[in-house]
């Protein structure tokens, strides 16, 4: 079966790391067809729209989307794209690899982040010259849907015994309280073990002893911030892939942004984009191919060559060629 993949490079190093991921995918024996769309700062400057309707429709109609990064227009691009694929959960692995100089080499975490609500819902207002407001949205239905996904996730993998629920319900009693009650309630009904950690305490504990955590379920903003914190433990954002999963569609993207300080220099780390492509392969049923890509990436991280963010001096093309060679 042929799968249609929407490819949106976006801005900055997205235009370098997504072609690297496509090069790796093209080296595999998989039935993928690529169709390209445009989005981001440059497109807005040219057309007045950061995410043109044809690109939105492309993502909505494809079997999966591979996305790079957007700059100043990020909120106008990635949030609608996640809506296009009806994504309700953002999966962000944060794993330390052999050969990478990690602050905490024992780190191996999976963040399951609610992807539709919270303060990213877009309800902001200027009430006066002195006052702006932001409305936080939390529903029981979205919290329970995330919980069901988390339960399925841990039950399908013998390596996971349960999950940690991260919240701040001691202060945000109505919103995080609703999130916590929805998630824990579903887990209790399904017999899945959970523990609760306040998000500020979690930020400290993850740095001191990341091994005490495994699968982490959290609200939207907390998942965004805390997974970036975990990136600092494993060697940087250049190593973190992600998946935005919907019921019938999905979008895959590296966690890093456009990195304007190095964009266009050919030195960007393609690891996160390649691992995002591996997550896409697994999602589409190409589990063997996904494992091959992960194994090849791990071998290159261990033995080199490496990009500058990992202490090496290799460029994007050199690292990509090394991964392809390992395949």
Q: Indicate if the pLDDT at residue 1 is higher than 80.
A: no
Q: What is the per-residue pLDDT for 43?
A: 95
Active-site residue 168, yes or no? yes
Q: Which of 13-17, 141-145, 147-151, 155-159 has the lowest mean pLDDT?
A: 155-159
Tell me the pLDDT band of 39, cut-offs 50, 70 and 90: very high
Among residues 56, 97, 120, 286, the one annotated as catalytic is: 120
- For 264-326, give the DSSP string: TTT----HHHHHHHHHHHHHTT-HHHHHHHHHHHHHHHHHS---GGGT----HHHHHHHHHHH
Judged against a pLDDT cut of 90, whether residue 29 lies above it is answered with no
Q: Check pLDDT > 90 for residue 157.
A: no
Catalytic option among 97, 224, 286, 309: 224
**Is 209 within 8 Å of 201 (Cβ atoms)?**
no
Q: Is 286 a catalytic residue?
A: no
H-run or E-run covering 174: none
User: What percent of the chain shows pLDDT beyond 90?
Assistant: 94
Closest CA to 23 of 323, 326, 242: 323
Out of 188, 200, 247, 325, the active site residue is 200
Determine whether 153 is an active site residue.
no
Given the residues 83, 148, 228, 282, select the one marked as catalytic.
Answer: 228
| pTM for this model (two decimals) | 0.94
Per residue in 272-285, pLDDT tens?
999 999 999 999 99
Q: Which three-class secondary structure string do you get for 190-249? A: HCCEEEEEEHHHHHHHHHHCHHHCCEEEECHHHHHHHHHHHHHHHCCHHHCCCEEEECCC
CA distance 11 to 70: 5
Q: Active site includes 248?
A: no
* From 168, 176, 286, 309, the catalytic residue: 168
Average pLDDT over residues 133-144: 96
């Amino acid at each position: 079966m042929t799968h249609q993949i929407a490819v949106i490079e976006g801005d900055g190093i997205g235009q370098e790391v997504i072609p690297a991921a496509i090069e790796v995918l093209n080296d595999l024996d998989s039935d993928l067809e690529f169709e390209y769309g445009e989005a981001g700062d440059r497109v807005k400057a040219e057309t007045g729209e950061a995410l043109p309707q044809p690109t939105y429709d492309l993502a909505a109609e494809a079997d999966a989307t591979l996305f790079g990064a957007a700059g100043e227009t990020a909120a106008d691009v990635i949030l609608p794209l996640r809506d296009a694929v009806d994504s309700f959960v953002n999966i962000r692995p944060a794993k330390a690899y052999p050969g990478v100089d990690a602050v905490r080499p024992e780190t191996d975490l999976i963040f399951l982040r609610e992807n539709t609500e919270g303060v990213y819902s877009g309800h902001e207002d200027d009430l006066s010259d002195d006052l702006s407001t932001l409305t936080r949205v939390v529903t029981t239905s979205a919290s329970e849907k995330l919980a069901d996904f988390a339960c399925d996730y841990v039950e399908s993998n013998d390596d996971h015994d349960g999950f940690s629920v991260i919240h701040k319900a001691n202060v945000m009693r109505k919103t995080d309280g609703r999130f916590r009650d929805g998630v824990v309630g579903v887990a209790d009904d399904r017999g899945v073990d959970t523990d609760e950690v306040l998000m500020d305490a979690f930020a400290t504990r993850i740095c001191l002893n990341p091994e005490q955590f495994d699968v982490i379920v959290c609200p939207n903003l907390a998942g965004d911030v805390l997974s970036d914190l975990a990136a600092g433990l494993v060697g940087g954002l250049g190593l973190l892939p992600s998946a935005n999963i919907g019921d019938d569609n999905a979008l895959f993207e590296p966690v890093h942004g456009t990195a304007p300080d190095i964009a266009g220099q050919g030195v960007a780390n393609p690891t996160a984009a390649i691992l995002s492509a591996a997550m896409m392969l697994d999602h589409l049923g190409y589990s063997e191919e996904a494992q091959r890509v992960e194994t090849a990436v791990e071998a290159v991280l261990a033995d080199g060559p490496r990009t500058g963010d990992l202490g090496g001096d290799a460029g994007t093309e050199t690292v990509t060629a090394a991964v392809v060679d390992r395949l």
